[in-house]
Structure 1
Amino acid sequence: MKKLLWLLLALGVLLGPGSYAQTGQPRAVSGVVSDTKGSPLPGVTVLVKGTSTGASTGADGRYSVQAAPGSTLTFSFIGFTTQERVVGTDASINISLAENTTNLNDVVVTAYGIKQERRQINYAAQEVKSKDIIESRQTNIVNALQGKVAGVQITSAGGAPGEGSAIVIRGGNSLDGDNQPLFVIDGIIMDNSSFVESTSPGGGSAFNGQLGRSAVSQNRAGDLNPEDIASMTVLKGPAAAALYGLRAANGAVIITTKKGTAGRTNINYRTQFSVDEVNRLPTLQDQYKQGSNGIFDATTRASWGPRFGEGEPIYDNLGNLFQKGTAWQHYLTMSGGGDKATFLVSASRLDQKGVVPNTLYDKSTVRASGTVQFSPKFSGSASTQYLNSGGQSPFQGGGLFGTGLNPSGFFTSLLNWPRNDDARNYLNPDGTRRRLLGAATSAGDPDNPYFTIYRNPQTTRTNRMIGNAQVTFEAAKWASVSYNIGTDFYSQKDRSVRAVGTSQPDNQDGGIAETTIINRLLTSNFLVTLNHKFSENLGSSLVLGNTVEVSRNETTDNYGRIFQNPDFVSINNTVNRNTLITNKERRLIGNFARLNLDFLQQITLELNGRLDMSSTLPRPEKNKNFGRAFGYGSAALGWEFTRTLGLDQNPILNYGKLRGSVAVVGKDTGPYRVDSPLAQSTYIGGGFRNGFFGSNRLLKPEQTRSVEAGLDLQFLQNRLTLDVAAYYQETRDQLIAPRVSQATAFILQYINGGTVENKGLELALTGAPLKSTQGLSWDVIANFTLNRNRATQLPSFLTEVYQSDAFVIDWARGGAFPGKPISSISAVDFKRTPDGQLLIDASGYPIVNTGVFEYAGNRAPDYTVQVTNSFTYQGLNLSFLVDFRQGGDVVNGNDWLATKTGMSTRTLDRYKQVVFDGVLANANNTGPLLNSDGGYVKNTRPTELTQGYYQNVLTGTAASFVEDASWTRLRYVTLSYALPAAWLGSSFVRGVELSVTGRNLVLLTNYSGVDPETASAGAGVRGGGSSGFDYGSVPATRGVDMGLRVNF
């Protein structure tokens, strides 16, 4: 398949130029760029349109660039209007640029592909261009947004190849953890999901109840080729995304792909080689070896034995496992066209080897797009892309055994492997698993981490097609009609293997689980656009639209146990097999309207309205296919006060706008929550049984109401731009699924209940502080984000709402309490007095508040600041991103486990005598002991830090392992150099750029673990539900990328 794809692309490269041969060979074109007063302008960017070939003007305003007759040159400079000139027979083109005092005629792509001038947008929206996406050198486009947009939090799950990322805008609105924004590509809804526990291999069958928390999960937006992206616009609040109605609650990411341009056929090739290594690892104790209570014991993995003797080997099992990771990336794009049609064809290939042995990831993409002008009034465009990705990874987190003393994720197993034994020696001479605890039962001797990596791999493979076709009819200058239909179809196959000899009960004779997910998403959009200018002082635009979304999902879960041939891994080789098939369908119909009014070129008003009908909501009549309609809308108003006050030519403040908006949007529920379907029983006797979720015919959508105020300012003739936004959002009728009485025959039931509020402040600053006459420029982008959210109300019978998929260690989980953030840490703590002092028992130890989960911290930061700087001198460019995070908490689950097993450096205080700072408890340990005056009695009892203290008292809590997650990090540094056009002469090579990038080179934090930016369950808990839990993930990496780009 790979060879065929590259062969097709090669044929396109060979045949394409002949099909559009309209221009001659490139030659030198030179000239002078000046302002309207005739003064030369240094630092003006001169580009051959549709390519990356270009140059910058020098101190005298002169430039020289290689361009063919018929191609188009673009001249751009901050604070001046961009101009274009077509290259003719003249070898000299001189041009004068006029100052642009607004710089707001730029077009921004918003909901449903509607293009609006920036000055008409009265809500929070930030656009990230292709250059900034590629500059980050990220293969996942979600990660490429890190630090680029205020109000957006992105959490990368770790350093595994192909690891997914979660994205949340403005803190999240939903208690159920589903807070990811809507993704739209070229006007078509795109799936960005990732599997969770219920859809992992065997997850629906109880074969592997831990896998949703223990396997690498990709987010589907990571399938895309970053080189195909022209821009990404983040619609942050409900007002920005209001046209999407029931889909708008969490904001939206609008992706616009690149299109071909008229002129010479251009070929662009970029390659990149990367080397990665683990950034940081936990520090483990190297003083004590295997055993219990100071005595060597070969029947336990714990390291509570005697001290190492002089000369005894001490193995670095944690450090020995990791290797250098590498990645090769190749990107090839060909584009061109004429006056009537354009085309673009691209392909990419990524091959990645992880820092953990036997971990791999690869991705291949092929895309073709074209535009056609059938007549002056009738045009069309189409795009299709094929994406293939997959990889192999080991169990993470708790692995097959979950939490406790014997987890079997590869990393947690390393944290629990005694350092007197070399974990690399994992096989017996006959190839069977070497057991560390020979006297224990097989089930009591969990798998060696190397056995987990090499014999029990987790694999995934996705084949995907995304495509759309759009036609537009310009009925008149003031009226147009467009229709866009597209689909996102993929098949994902995940496999989980248990080799013969695996220690997990019921799988010691081998087992395999395979899950196939087939997902189809069809989107149909019909838009009518009407424009009318009533007078010089009043303009208007009206958009009327209809959208239909149809989503179908089929999940087939096959699993089998007991391999007949231990060396043949196949489900057909198993003795006991079961199959579970789940089908889901979801339909949504929406009708919407948008009205824009422009008064006096100073006041702009936008009104949006939408009426939605969803198949997942209760139906008013049994024969209806949809639930009752729900209406949503927004209003946004902006006042350009600098024009009213005559300040638009002011040399200091040349543009200013006050804006405000209000909006009401919603979110529907998933399929089959109104009427619960029966599930086929996989046990003896067959038949059907109730599923997990009970029915509720009273469900209604969540409703989010928002108020936003903003200020847009531009200074120094647009060299400095400041965007300020303050907002308040309230989401009512939360859709949550608490446990219900077993008498109902169900376990969970979705209900409406609870309210969440978000309020915050965002600042986005862009500017060019330096533009020297010698051609030196400095550009800066800075984003500040502050968000506060809390669950203001829960249903009366609930004291906490938690996400089960984030329940990664015994005594900590992600939860929400009344009056606390929805990103709270819910954990077991010690018993305390009302003023927070520890209660101490008769033996001198703090008392564990067993089984009681309390608020223990907030995983969200207090605020974040990201600053991107870019320095350019002629063809040399240096860019870097610095990321600051203040506040927030992280659960160090790795240290919790290492402490429990005697491997943490905390346990080096073992056997010491201490007096805990606290007060004495009463006789039954339910409260403080009071003296005759009614006061507390201070603890003065000395006690020893025994093995029992660490295993049963300290790690009986998780609150003791909550740490500050503040950091300062250098996300990336990129140095690139574009060879001067004069060096290339008249060769067919039109541009060459060399680059080197360092990623995650610096991390400054007080966190004692691997990296405070982590999500233990990856992207598998929707919208960051597991962020802030550091437990058994592949450690984050740092690396170097070396790149080459060539334009032909």
Structure 2
Amino acid sequence: MTKKLHPAISPGSAKLIFFFFFFSFILDQSSAQTVAGKVSDATGKGIPNVSVTVKGDNKGTSTDPDGLYSIGAGPKATLVFSSVGFITMDIAVSGRQTVNAVLTAANKDLEDVIVTALGIKRESKKIGYSATSVNTEELVKNRTTNVGESLEGRVAGLNITPPAAGAGASNQIRLRGQVGFAGADNSPLLVINGIPMDQGAQSADGGGQMRDRGDNLANINPDDIESMTVLKGATAAALYGSRAARGAIIITTKSGQKNQGIGVDFNSSYTTSQALNFFDEIRQTQYGQGQGGVKFTTQGQVQGNGQFGWGAKLDGLPTINFDGAMRPYTAHPNNLTDFLQTGTNITNTIGLSGGGSKGSFRASISNTDAKGIAPTNEYKRTIFNLGLNHNVTDKLKLQMNINYADEQYINPPQIGTQGDGIVNFFNRTPVSIPLEAYRDNAFDPVTGGEYKTNGFLGTVNNPYVPIKSGQKYKEERNRLLGTTTLRYDITKWLYAQGRFSLDRYNNFVENNLSNATGAAVLTNADGTYRGSYNINRTWTTDINADFLVGGNHKFRKISVDASFGGNTLRSKFQNISETATNFTVANLYTISNGTVKTANPLGFAESRINSLYGLAEIGYNDLLYVNLTGRNDWFSVLNPANNSKFYPSVSGSFIFSELLPNVNWLSYGKLRTSWAKVGSVAGVGAYDGALTYGINGTLFNGQTLAGVANVNTVALAPNPSLQPFTVTEKEIGLEVKLFKNRLLLDVAAFDKVTTEQIIDVNLSTASGYSASKQNEASLKNSGLETLVEYKAIQGKNFNWSTSLNNTYLKTEVLEVGTPSGTRLLLYFNGTGNEFLGEIRYTEGMAMNQLYVKRAKRNAKGEIVVGANGRLIEDKTSGPIGTGFYPVGSAIPDFTGGWNNNFSYKNLSVGVFIDYKFGGTVLSSTLLNMTRQGLSTLSLEGRETGIIVPGVYNDGLPNAGQPNTTVITAAGNGLQSYWSDYRNYQIGEPFTFKSDFIKLRSISLAYNFTSLLKNTAALKFVKGLSLSASVRNLAIIYKDIPGLDPEAIQSSGDIRAGYENSALPTTRNYNLTLNVKF
């Protein structure tokens, strides 16, 4: 089987497209004498992005950030200066080479225009729901490998958490909470140049090797983004139908500007990443390897129990190690950070843009080469982007967008797991062993397998072994996004539009597991070599075709804007994989070398959604606007008798400031309200609604049909009554601008209820099935979002603007379905996962509720102990009768961010702080370090012993009396005491709030363009700037010790609130150069 992943578009084709559009537009340009100057406002401050054109000609350009421009124009030409919010001005050149312009602000402020559903641009005053436009300059100044991470804390209602998971990792993105139980897709819909798609996070959310391999936002280069809009509520996204039940993020990439001429822009960015070491807060450095307060004295003792740090006080004397060598008994607290490396990221982008009187284009290519902080972890990405707008005739307009991304994820680190997890190893080995001992003695010289460093070989493995043995995980992925739109203006007020889009995604995974990893021997019982080799290939294709007919008209004081359209979506999925084990030749990772092969048959799924939709906006006198939308979807995955779903919405906005023209301090005021009902079939497979059959390779008499395995065993009973779950949302909001638009206040309250949630309900196996999908559960999210923006200082040279956004979110489980009361999401039994506790949905409580057991208590609530003075397991108490008690939800109640921007002449500085409060986290890292004697929590009583606060248990001679029994370190007493916490699943000491306040980023930028005045370089260089930024600068406040509160292991919801050996978060230093020609 070939390993090469063929791109969806050939490099030769990409070049032809590029040069075709380049020469098409360059022919529209002509040369003339150069006229330069500055465009400023009434205060003398330069105005950026002013369109400067030659009247009656195709030539055009735009001003740089300082208001400077340069254009070819004849001595008798007339220049036209135009910009949103200013009165257009014509100035004759009259033979001059310098022409300055001072623009006058328009008498009536033009409201912001945002991109809404279906790509329709609308004035913000006309919409009756929450929609936030993201400042794309902030994304570039504070750049991250995945653009989603840059949004963290910047938009009210948008909760983003980036897992500490290596280069190119995904992000957990939630808009106004979860619309479904964990396991469903709760991330918002992404719409890129009109193409709707899921976030597609390839996260470490359980199963497999727990590696994070990014998401679909990684396909977007921040340098290519023209605009980004976050549609928060169901009303905002209702026109996208079932796929937008959880909100939407609309991204439009650049396609040049009319009359700007030919231009080139170049961005070069270099980032270094350093691991932040918080483990010093919890790692004890006083006692070394051993048990019962004494050192080990033989190699066998170390190899059998070397994971324990219950030894003697560190004294610097030579002590036996796992390899038989004698090394000083001293502390080496930085083994983890010394093992990790400095991460790097180099991204270069070059773009070519042009624009004439009939259209514009922009083509760009970017390359990213990143190395993570984990050795051998790499991420490589190449993105080609093309945007084109062209007026074929006065009435026919063509728009085309192509985005092609090629990615490689190489050895993303295993996180949140045992085995080869890096953090798992170093946090679970004593501090007295130096790093070089593990590095130089990875392999046993006798067996050739992994040197046994401790008694947990197989679950706590030396990370140098997979590195030195060539173990490799590589995932190659390419994606082609293409959209072509034709719009025909039938009349001045009526148009028809057709659009076709393609989303094609190919993925190839190659993974080999070393025969030496996690085992002391290299061979199996049959003499073949250990290890495994797996290849996996996936193809997905989404084809969208839609039409839209729309028109607008004004009847005196009443305006009407209406559209009607339809869409068909065809989705196709294919997957095939094969695994080989028991190799004939050692370290030769091919399918043919394996003596045991497992081939999964071709997986295939195809589905379709057909849709019709309409929208109408009715306005009265620029004062009142009412919007109505409706969409009907027909789903192929549901029973034909039950496959239709209608989604209505209504919203309104009241511009009350129009009634108060004499209130000078009120610049703008709007009340808005909305109601919507949307639905989704997320979680329903293409054939879940049909009765399917498996292949049985065993025939009547027990003989096996050659080459046929038992596959596709039917476990899911079809449900012909299954229907989409429904999300109903209500919202009310207020937006005011005060003191000549210097102060903005935006408040929104929402209430969102999910009903008829689709869940798997267990069935009796006597039925022949194990489960059936049913419409049963319901959830509720409600909250309050606020945004305050203030232009504190507006001077000629110095400016300061500040903004604060905050979200309060309350979640509640209304119904969990069958069986009622509570539904288990994830259970950690303290053995396989080395943790304790449960994550549940419980009726009447917040979502993702964390449960742990407590030490047993008597009727008075006092902790009781046994005759040995140790804790006793609580097996039956608690609100759900299993001994587990709720300790809080993993979902934070409050999230927000405070952004400050300062500018002085050409220098700008940005400072951003964000915060989260109210969430709860269970720390597996601290549990395991403590029970093994490796954490500071285990230091108590090392010399004198401890007495557990409590009373003796009933049935003892001294029942009810205060405990006086001392637990000593000798005889493994303390070790047994702390092991009880794991064995009895007592999670109280390891439960913390995930609250934090972070100095998230500081950025500094300087624009050198004005320094090029009167120099020859100005003829070629139109803009020159340099920016620097630092991300994750400091944690101002946190509750959990030794860890970053955001050190989650997954972008999914299943393990939310569960911390287990995630990589350290990183502090990132970035330097970016931007040049425009």
With normalisation by structure 2, the TM-score equals 0.86
Work out whether 1:393 is the aligned partner of 2:420: no
How far 1:963 sits from its partner (Å)? Answer: 1.1
Work out whether 1:274 is the aligned partner of 2:271: yes
Structure with more contact order per residue of length (Cα contacts < 8 Å, sep ≥ 6): 1
Unaligned 5+ segments in structure 1 are 35-39, 57-62, 199-208, 621-626
Work out whether 1:617 is the aligned partner of 2:614: no
Q: Percent identity?
A: 24
Work out whether 1:126 is the aligned partner of 2:132: yes
In structure 2, relative to structure 1, the CA distance for the partners of 1:102 and 1:52 (3 Å cut) is closer
Q: Secondary structure at the match of 1:750?
A: strand
User: Are 2:559 and 2:620, in contact at CA under 8 Å, matched by a contact in 1?
Assistant: yes
Q: Show the counterpart of 1:623.
A: none
Q: Show the counterpart of 1:784.
A: 806
How far apart in 2 are the matches of 1:192 and 1:787?
22
Work out whether 1:501 is the aligned partner of 2:521: no
Give the alignment partner of residue 353 of structure 1, picking from 355, 371, 376: 371
How far apart in 2 are the matches of 1:547 and 1:272?
40
How far 1:255 sits from its partner (Å)? Answer: 0.9
Equivalent residue runs for 1:310-329 within 5 Å: 310-311=316-317, 312=328, 313-315=330-332, 316-329=334-347
Corresponding pairs, count:
994
Q: Secondary structure at the match of 1:476?
A: coil
In structure 2, relative to structure 1, the CA distance for the partners of 1:847 and 1:5 (3 Å cut) is farther
User: Are 2:826 and 2:838, in contact at CA under 8 Å, matched by a contact in 1?
Assistant: yes
Equivalent residue runs for 1:557-706 within 5 Å: 557-580=577-600, 581-620=602-641, 627-644=642-659, 646-647=660-661, 650-669=663-682, 670-671=684-685, 672-675=687-690, 677-678=692-693, 686-706=709-729
How far 1:750 sits from its partner (Å)? Answer: 2.4
How far 1:698 sits from its partner (Å)? Answer: 2.6
How far 1:878 sits from its partner (Å)? Answer: 0.8
In structure 2, relative to structure 1, the CA distance for the partners of 1:899 and 1:305 (3 Å cut) is closer
Equivalent residue runs for 1:841-990 within 5 Å: 841-849=866-874, 852-909=883-940, 911=942, 912-918=944-950, 920-923=952-955, 942-944=966-968, 946-953=974-981, 956-983=985-1012, 985=1015, 986-990=1018-1022
| Deviations 1:600-627, CA, capped at 9 Å, x for gaps | 211110111111111222332xxxxxx4
One-letter amino acid of the structure 2 residue matched with residue 824 of structure 1:
Q
Q: Show the counterpart of 1:1007.
A: 1040
How far 1:252 sits from its partner (Å)? Answer: 0.7
| Deviations 1:490-522, CA, capped at 9 Å, x for gaps | 111223321122336989611012221211111
In structure 2, relative to structure 1, the CA distance for the partners of 1:1046 and 1:696 (3 Å cut) is same
Q: Secondary structure at the match of 2:750?
A: strand
User: Are 2:129 and 2:651, in contact at CA under 8 Å, matched by a contact in 1?
Assistant: yes
In structure 2, relative to structure 1, the CA distance for the partners of 1:706 and 1:937 (3 Å cut) is farther
Q: Secondary structure at the match of 1:907?
A: helix
One-letter amino acid of the structure 2 residue matched with residue 319 of structure 1:
T
Equivalent residue runs for 1:189-268 within 5 Å: 189-195=196-202, 210-211=207-208, 214-262=210-258, 263-268=260-265
After superposing the two structures, state which structure 1 stretch, 293-302 or 782-791, moved more. 293-302
Q: Secondary structure at the match of 2:41?
A: strand
Q: Secondary structure at the match of 1:293?
A: coil
How far apart in 2 are the matches of 1:1039 and 1:977?
20
How far apart in 2 are the matches of 1:445 and 1:719?
59
In structure 2, relative to structure 1, the CA distance for the partners of 1:197 and 1:333 (3 Å cut) is closer
In structure 2, relative to structure 1, the CA distance for the partners of 1:124 and 1:439 (3 Å cut) is closer
How far apart in 1 are the matches of 2:448 and 2:1061?
22
| Deviations 1:271-327, CA, capped at 9 Å, x for gaps | 011111002241322333334434522212322442233342444432321111111
Give the alignment partner of residue 428 of structure 2, picking from 405, 416, 420: 416
Q: Show the counterpart of 1:727.
A: 750
How far apart in 2 are the matches of 1:120 and 1:930?
76
Equivalent residue runs for 1:93-108 within 5 Å: 93-99=100-106, 101-104=108-111, 106-108=112-114
User: Are 1:679 and 1:689, in contact at CA under 8 Å, matched by a contact in 2?
Assistant: yes
Work out whether 1:840 is the aligned partner of 2:865: yes
Q: Secondary structure at the match of 1:973?
A: strand
How far apart in 2 are the matches of 1:792 and 1:478?
48
| Deviations 1:556-603, CA, capped at 9 Å, x for gaps | 122111222223222332221112132222211111111111012111
One-letter amino acid of the structure 2 residue matched with residue 478 of structure 1:
W
User: Are 1:301 and 1:437, in contact at CA under 8 Å, matched by a contact in 2?
Assistant: no
Q: Secondary structure at the match of 1:509?
A: strand
Q: Secondary structure at the match of 1:548?
A: strand
In structure 2, relative to structure 1, the CA distance for the partners of 1:830 and 1:866 (3 Å cut) is same
How far apart in 2 are the matches of 1:1014 and 1:185?
29
Q: Show the counterpart of 2:323.
A: none
Work out whether 1:157 is the aligned partner of 2:163: yes
In structure 2, relative to structure 1, the CA distance for the partners of 1:954 and 1:805 (3 Å cut) is closer
Q: Show the counterpart of 1:201.
A: none
How far 1:82 sits from its partner (Å)? Answer: 7.1
One-letter amino acid of the structure 1 residue matched with residue 247 of structure 2:
G
In structure 2, relative to structure 1, the CA distance for the partners of 1:846 and 1:196 (3 Å cut) is same
Give the alignment partner of residue 306 of structure 1, picking from 308, 311, 315: 311
| Deviations 1:326-377, CA, capped at 9 Å, x for gaps | 1111011111121223211001011011111111111101112212211111
In structure 2, relative to structure 1, the CA distance for the partners of 1:445 and 1:145 (3 Å cut) is closer
Q: Secondary structure at the match of 1:737?
A: strand
One-letter amino acid of the structure 1 residue matched with residue 427 of structure 2:
L
| Deviations 1:46-92, CA, capped at 9 Å, x for gaps | 65679885254xxxxxx654444499886769xx5475779966532
How far apart in 1 are the matches of 2:404 and 2:459?
45
Q: Show the counterpart of 1:29.
A: 37
In structure 2, relative to structure 1, the CA distance for the partners of 1:817 and 1:84 (3 Å cut) is farther
How far apart in 2 are the matches of 1:775 and 1:342?
34
Equivalent residue runs for 1:706-855 within 5 Å: 706-772=729-795, 774-804=796-826, 810-832=835-857, 837-849=862-874, 852-855=883-886
In structure 2, relative to structure 1, the CA distance for the partners of 1:886 and 1:427 (3 Å cut) is closer
Q: Show the counterpart of 1:174.
A: 180
How far apart in 1 are the matches of 2:774 and 2:980?
38
User: Are 2:129 and 2:674, in contact at CA under 8 Å, matched by a contact in 1?
Assistant: yes
In structure 2, relative to structure 1, the CA distance for the partners of 1:4 and 1:681 (3 Å cut) is farther
Q: Show the counterpart of 1:1026.
A: 1055
Q: Secondary structure at the match of 1:830?
A: coil
With normalisation by structure 1, the TM-score equals 0.88
How far apart in 1 are the matches of 2:182 and 2:845?
15
How far apart in 1 are the matches of 2:378 and 2:762?
39
How far apart in 1 are the matches of 2:267 and 2:62?
12
Work out whether 1:1046 is the aligned partner of 2:1075: yes
How far apart in 2 are the matches of 1:480 and 1:15?
30
In structure 2, relative to structure 1, the CA distance for the partners of 1:5 and 1:592 (3 Å cut) is closer
Q: Show the counterpart of 1:367.
A: 385
Q: Secondary structure at the match of 2:118?
A: helix
After superposing the two structures, state which structure 1 stretch, 360-369 or 172-181, moved more. 172-181
* CA RMSD after TM alignment: 3.2
User: Are 1:1014 and 1:1027, in contact at CA under 8 Å, matched by a contact in 2?
Assistant: no
Q: Show the counterpart of 2:55.
A: none
How far 1:394 sits from its partner (Å)? Answer: 5.0
Unaligned 5+ segments in structure 2 are 1-6, 53-59, 318-327, 699-703, 876-881
Give the alignment partner of residue 463 of structure 2, picking from 449, 452, 466: 449
Q: Secondary structure at the match of 1:242?
A: helix
Give the alignment partner of residue 146 of structure 1, picking from 149, 152, 162: 152
In structure 2, relative to structure 1, the CA distance for the partners of 1:428 and 1:793 (3 Å cut) is closer
Q: Secondary structure at the match of 2:1012?
A: helix
